[in-house]
Each structure stands twice: as structure tokens, then as C-alpha cells.
Amino acid sequence: MGKLIIGLGTGRCGTLSLAHLLCDQPGITMLHEGGIDDTTKRPLKWTGDHDNLLAWIGELRSRYGSGEYFGDIGMYYLPYVEFLLGEVPECRFICLERPREHMVASYLKKTENFNHWYEHDGGVWQKNPFWDASFPKFPEPDKARALGLYWDAYHAEIERLVAQYPRHVACFQTEVLNSSAGMNAILDFMGYSGPRHIAASYAFNQKRSRLGQCISKLALQAMDIAMAVGKPLLPQPLRHFLWTRFASTIHERLLHKTPIHPYRRDELDTVPNE
């Protein structure tokens, strides 16, 4: 049977791009919130949905478990990480994290008439029975502030889980999708050993000076070469340790400028609720 992979992230942080990246690798089947398109979304409730979760994992396994890896990506899996580890000990969790201010701004634009992060009566904000239950609620009527609290809570929980379960839970800045080194780091964490298709179409679009772009591009190419050279020489646990301790920090500083769209470039006008 295949190994279960669950993707995490607040949403609006590149998880759809992650799904496409993983699906492009032979032997991996990865859904995004139950499906790649909006018509087949299957969100879980943020709390108390353990039975539906197990039923859904069973359905995923029966449909896609014959491959090497299979799974789903959704922000609402975060509260169930430890529960799933108890049920499926071989499970791996991959989280993408986008800078706080960019996530808040993206959600404000995407959910203009809705507020999934505050209990309300439908007066100021529209009710959304499909998504409201999939997010935590905060005692903050200001939507932007509530979104900030959501990012803070998600970040804190991910940090705790990574510290407690480093072999099972990893968090990557969204900008890792900008280079082969970053994408290889994700696949290395999974233990994926098949042929790798890491096309540039998953890259973050960024606004920078031409000089800054050239410097960053050269530095990233050098890092990619170093990672490629080290792959046949170093065992996967050591490569992952070096990435999490050193390379990811350099990578983030090179790329963490002004990310705009964490999606594939051909989907900028039709992105689903990521």
C-alpha cells in the first residue's frame, strides 16, 4: 500500500501549487481539498470530524493507495495531525507557510463578502455553510485582525508539531517552490526516490530590481548545484537536516521579497480557494 501524505497550510499559501508539483511526480496522487477543481471539494470541520476524516482517508486509500504515495491537502487537517499519526503512523505532513501579511491580504481579497474566522449572525458577512465550519473562530470582529490571529495560531501549532514530530511533520516557506533545491527538499522529506519532474511553472512570481533578480538567480543556481552534488553522496536524513538548519534560511532570504501569486502561472485568473 502507498504512503499517506497530508498537506497543510493556512490557505492562500501555495498549497494548490504543491498539489500540482506532487501530482507531476510518477507514483504520487495528491488531491487539493478533496479535488483539484471547485466542484469536488470535500472540506472537514475544524473540530469534531474524526469519523468523517477516517472515512475519507479510507476512501483515498481504496482509490489511490496502490501507488507509492497518495493523499490530500487542506488547512483543516491541522487539528487532526496527532490523531492521524495514531491511526496511520507512517503518515507524513508537509506544511507550506506564506508570510503573515501576504496571507491576510490574499484572504481579504478572496473572501470579500465572507468571514470564516468569526462567529457572526449573517448580518455584516454572508454565511457560508460549505467553508465556515472548516476554519477556527476568534473573538475578533475585525476580519483582518482575525486573519492575523489565525496565522499566529497556525504558525504556533506547526512549530510545536515540527519540534515534537520532526520525522513526520515538516514546514517549508512557500518560496521553496521557486527552485529545484526547494522542491527536492520537499520530495526528500517524503522519502520519494522516483524520477523527479520539477518544472519552473510552480515558481512564485516576484517584483524585484533586475540586479536583485540576477544575484538571486545565480545564488539559487549555485544552491541547486550544491544540493544536486550532495544528493548521491549524503544520506537523506543528513540532507534534510542540512536543509532545515542552513539551506532553507539562505533560500528564504534570497526569495522572501515580494511574492505575489503562489500559483502556477497558467492559473492566475482561475485559482480555487487555496
Task: State how far the Cα of 185 lies from the Cα of 190, in Å rounded to an integer.
Answer: 9
pLDDT at 191 over 80: yes
Q: How far apart are CA 257 and CA 206, in angstroms?
A: 7
C-beta atoms surrounding 272 within 10 Å: 16
Residue-by-residue DSSP string for the chain: -PEEEEEE-SSSSSHHHHHHHHHTSTTEEEEETTSSSGGG--PPPSSS-HHHHHHHHHHHHHHHTTSSEEEEE-GGGGGGHHHHHHH-TT-EEEEEE--HHHHHHHHHHHTTTB-TTS---SSSSB--TTTGGGS---S--SHHHHHHHHHHHHHHHHHHHHHH-TTTEEEEEGGGGGSHHHHHHHHHHHT--S-----GGGPPPB---HHHHHHHHHHHHHHHHHHHHHTTTS-HHHHHHHIIIIIHHHHHHHH-S-B---S-GGGTTS----
Q: What is the mean pLDDT of residues 230-241?
A: 74
Angstrom distance (rounded) from CA 127 to CA 118 = 11
Longest Cα–Cα distance of the chain, Å, equals 61
pLDDT (0 to 100) of residue 258:
31
Mean pLDDT of 177-203: 88
Please state which of the ranges 99-103, 187-191, 209-213 shows the lowest mean pLDDT: 209-213
The model's pTM is 0.76
Digit-coded pLDDT (tens) for 109-168? 999 999 999 999 999 999 998 899 999 999 999 999 999 999 999 999 999 999 999 999
What is the distance between the alpha carbons of residues 210 and 161, in angstroms, rounded to a whole number?
Answer: 39
- In this prediction, residues 230-259 reach a mean pLDDT of 62
Q: How far apart are alpha carbons 226 and 57 in whole angstroms?
A: 38
Answer whether 181's CB lies under 8 Å from 229's CB: no
Q: Are 147 and 109 in contact (CB under 8 A)?
A: no
pLDDT for 245 equals 61
Task: State mean pLDDT over 44-69.
Answer: 96
Predicted pLDDT of residue 199: 74
Alpha carbons 110 and 46: distance in angstroms, whole number: 20
Residue-wise DSSP of 113-170? TB-TTS---SSSSB--TTTGGGS---S--SHHHHHHHHHHHHHHHHHHHHHH-TTTEE
The predicted pLDDT at position 266 comes to 32
Quote the mean pLDDT of the chain: 84
Type of residue at 243: W
What is the spatial distance between Cα 51 and Cα 40, in angstroms, rounded to a whole number?
Answer: 20
Strongest mean pLDDT among 89-103, 171-185, 236-250: 89-103
At 39 the pLDDT is: 56
Residue holding cell 503573515?
A: 100
Mean pLDDT on 199-222: 56
Strand partners, 4: 70
